[in-house]
Structure formats: structure tokens, C-alpha cells
Amino acid sequence: MDKAYTRRIARLQSQIRKQRLDSLLVTSPYDWYYLTGFTGEAGVLLVEPQGYTLITDGRFTVQAKEEAPGLKVELQRQGLYRACGELLKRRKRRRAGFDARQLTVAHMGSLKKAAGRAVGLRDAGGMVQSLRAVKDVAELAAMRKAAALADQVVQAAVRLLKPGVRELEVAAEIEYRMRKGGASGPAFESIVAFGDRAALPHARPTAKRLKKGQLVVLDLGAILNRYCSDITRTVFVGKAPTKVRLWYQAVLEAQAAAIEAVAAGRTCGDVDAAARGVLAAHRLDQYFVHSTGHGLGLEVHEDPRVAKGQKTLLASGNVVTIEPGVYVPGVGGIRIEDDVAVHQSGNEVLTRASREFIEL
């Protein structure tokens, strides 16, 4: 297996020992891909202080061998969690960790039934996610490429914004261009929101046609070599009223202040406060209805969360989005989003498409 994977497993095993667990059930496909390179979507990776075993089914035998040579695989035939429970029982595990945010009540039922009373289960959620929050050199290189593809696609999408075009058409072009650029797909359902729909932070594209005098929010991200990007640009079709231009400048200023605050050792709450403070000075903070950003990596939303009051310290290797916005119901919304990597000193903005206000 690749050295990066063995290094990650070793780090997790030391965490397992530190938390005085004798095993950990890794139940997220993102987590086991991070640890082994196996991309199958069904299974459980059982990590123990001295080794690790993938429990999966016959559909993935060949795939696991190809993607994670040397990985020990046990095939389950009568239910994944039943097989897990039986394995824990055979190995006399007393303190097995699991992630309560991932295991369903049904999974837990089968697991407990098969494991029997002697096996102890404890919630140890988030252990792999916290390792994943710190990207290594190869991961950062992958994320730069995913960000560059998002830059290209968002710029191409802006050129498609002509009166009469539908939100859905622009969304389709966005996804087509991502795949042409090598992406396995979009990191999330692309947002193309015209006019008052731009006031909905998570608007889904509709058949609505673009008109002159509307704001347009484009929010998209690509998955390239398994890593996600996430970018938002807002443009105005026609000559923007002064009010809209002032809102845009305020959001841009808020974003710049938050990016400036992204540094190793600062809290995520500080970064959020930097954006919120600028918007408050413009009396626009009541229109900023979500948090400033989120971690980005194998998943489009991961640790650390950049939200109000978050005490988590940023560390070198973190990648977060910075995406303040203002949303005025009935009028429209403005959001500017970029992906930022934290370095030992300073930070690096991975997405580079121009942030200047565009009037088409």
C-alpha cells in the first residue's frame, strides 16, 4: 500500500491507543478511502492498534485488491453489521469505537445483537475527520487543481449569462464543462440563481429565464481526483443600482477581512467575526444568514467549520471556504466564495477567478 496510507493508519492507531480503545469501526467511505485508497461504497474498515481489516461484500473483492494491495479483506454474506459484530466478538474487543453520527439505529441493533454483551461500544466520532482536516502536500496539490477547474468553469458560466437563458441551462453547461475538464462530477448541486432567487442561499436551478436588471449568483465546485473545490461569484446583468454596488463592495470587504484572518493559531470564530464585523459596520449583518465557511477536502463540507463562536484553532494544512453574503428577500443576494489553505505562515487562496464586480 502507498506510504501516505500507512502513515495515516499509523496516526489513527496512535489516536486509538490514546483514547484507550481497542478498535475503531470506520464507517464513512471518505474515511476509508483516506486511510486505504479503497473507493468502494459499502463496507466497514475495522482499525485496531496492530492492524486493520476491511469487511465488505463480493462486489468489491477485485476492486479492493486493485486499489489497496495488501489490505486484509473479510467478506460478509449475511449482513455487514452482523459480520462486524461477530468479528468484534471473536477478537474479544471490550472498547470498540464507532461514530454515532454515521451509524443508524438499525445498524447499531444488528451490531449489538451479533457482538453480544461482552463487546463494549463507545462513541468515538470524528477521529478520522480530524486527521483529514490537515491536508498533506499531495492533497494540497490536488486541491489546487480542483480549484483551478472551478475558476475556469465559473468564468465560462459568466459568459453564458445572456437575457433569456434559463438557470437549468447554465447549470447543465457548468456540469458538462466540469466533466470535460476531468472532474468525476460536481461537488454539490450547482447553484444558478437569478433575481430574487439569489436571495435564497441554497437556491436550486429552475426553468426561470434571465432578465436585464437581475443579480445572478453562481456557486459551483468540481470533484477532481477525489478532492472538491467550491467557488461563488455574483454578477449583475445590466448597470447595477448604487445600492447593489454598495452591497457588493461590503461583501467583498467582509471576505477580504475574513481571508486576512485565516492563519495558523487563530480560531475559526475569529475568522467568522472578521466577516461579520465588516458587514455590521455597513449595517448589513442582519442579511448575513449563514456561517462564513467550512472545511473542504474529500467532502465539500468537512472540518473545520468557520462559524460564530467556534473555538477550533486553524492549523497549517487546513483548507476552508470563505463565503460571506447578504440576502435581501424579494430583491436578491450577493455571495463571494473562495477556497483558502492555511500555511505555517500566512495562507494561500486556491481559487483565483476575479472577484471584481461584474456588470454584464
Residues that bind Mn ion (CB under 5 A): 230, 321
State the pairing for strand pair 332-335/358-359.
Answer: unpaired
Place of cell 476509508: 32
Residue type, 6: T
Say how far apart CA 291 and CA 244 lie, in whole Å.
Answer: 22
Q: Are 150 and 351 in contact (CB under 8 A)?
A: yes
Nearest to 205 by CA among 237, 178, 177, 165: 165
Q: Please state the closest distance from residue 235 (CB atom) to Mn ion, in A.
A: 18
Q: Please state the closest distance from residue 336 (CB atom) to Mn ion, in A.
A: 11
**Widest Cα–Cα separation across the chain:** 71
Nearer to Mn ion, 110 or 351 (CB): 351
Nearer to Mn ion, 191 or 237 (CB): 191
Place of cell 483548507: 319
Q: Please state the closest distance from residue 230 (CB atom) to Mn ion, in A.
A: 4
Place of cell 467582509: 254
Q: Please state the closest distance from residue 358 (CB atom) to Mn ion, in A.
A: 20
Nearer to Mn ion, 1 or 300 (CB): 300
Say how far apart CA 58 and CA 18 lie, in whole Å.
Answer: 34
Say how far apart CA 203 and CA 253 lie, in whole Å.
Answer: 24
Q: Are 174 and 153 in contact (CB under 8 A)?
A: yes
Nearer to Mn ion, 321 or 351 (CB): 321
Nearer to Mn ion, 110 or 321 (CB): 321
Q: What angle do CA 336, 138, 178 make, to 5 degrees?
A: 45
Q: Are 329 and 220 in contact (CB under 8 A)?
A: no
Nearer to Mn ion, 71 or 171 (CB): 171
Helices H / strands E in the chain, number of each: 10, 20
Q: Please state the closest distance from residue 167 (CB atom) to Mn ion, in A.
A: 19
Q: Please state the closest distance from residue 321 (CB atom) to Mn ion, in A.
A: 4
Nearer to Mn ion, 139 or 230 (CB): 230
Q: Please state the closest distance from residue 205 (CB atom) to Mn ion, in A.
A: 16
